[in-house]
Amino acid sequence: MGMKGKVALGAVVGVVVIGVVSANAGNNGDGGTSGGTDKGSSASAERAAGAKKGAKDTGKAEVAEKKAAFAGDGDFQVGSDIKPGTYRTTGNSDGMCYWERAKDASGEMDSLLANDNVTGTSYVTLKATDKLFKSSDCNDWEAVGEKAQGSPAARISGDGGMFAVGADIAPGTYKSTGNTDDSCYWERTKDAGHGVESILANDNVNGTAVVRISASDAYFKTNGCKDWKKTG
């Protein structure tokens, strides 16, 4: 079963079900000419060595940072290719980004633990017991801390995907108006596992939606909705 064209287990259409499975030569100074003192040359050498060491250290840090992320296309074995933890992909459009957590590499439906088609941002927590993570047509994934840090907004895109509460979005009451055809779907979750047990509340909305996001919520997910604005 190929990755492309799959329908996410998390797709909720026309029905509200709590628990339905629905994120980068120094300046020598005086005496620094060829006729300068040994002291000047020594100081210059030390500065050059320091600069070289600094560049080397920075290079190591950049390499380490890059290793913490992985590409948005491919199959990755959890524990060897990528470590367990929470990862984020952002800037995805047209719902073409697809990912799945699996308990084995059989490719069968029974191996699926969770999956989703993503527009905007997605956060996913991979457990040590997961065996495989599949990602197709997604932007690169980056590792994030257990509790993401950031400047929480009071207004978010209604089709932005997942928002970390307290980092991407501030807790409070939000309203989205003008939704049609029950295409607006929102979800409050307690983690980024995307399992049935992750969902605290969800809804398919026609017209106006009002949601109270608690400070204890981990994430707020929104797809196909008009923009949300904090009202209280």
pLDDT at 37: 37
Which of 86-100, 137-151, 160-174, 189-203 is predicted least confidently? 137-151
Q: What is the pLDDT of residues 66-87, one digit of tens each?
A: 444 799 999 999 999 999 999 9
pTM exceeding 0.75? no
Q: What is the pLDDT of residues 121-134, one digit of tens each?
A: 999 999 999 999 99
Residue 147's pLDDT band, with cuts at 50, 70 and 90, is: low
Query: What does the H/E/C string look like for the chain?
Result: CCCCCCCCCCCCCCCCCCCCCCCCCCCCCCCCCCCCCHHHHHHHHHHHHHHHHHHHHHHHHHHHHHHCCECCCEEEEECCCECCEEEEEEEEEEEEEEEEEECCCCCCHHHEEEEEEEEEEEEEEECCCCCEEEEECCCCEEEECCCCCCCCECEECCCCEEEEECCCECCEEEEEEEEEEEEEEEEEECCCCCCHHHEEEEEEEEEEEEEEECCCCCEEEEECCCCEEECC
pLDDT at 52: 42
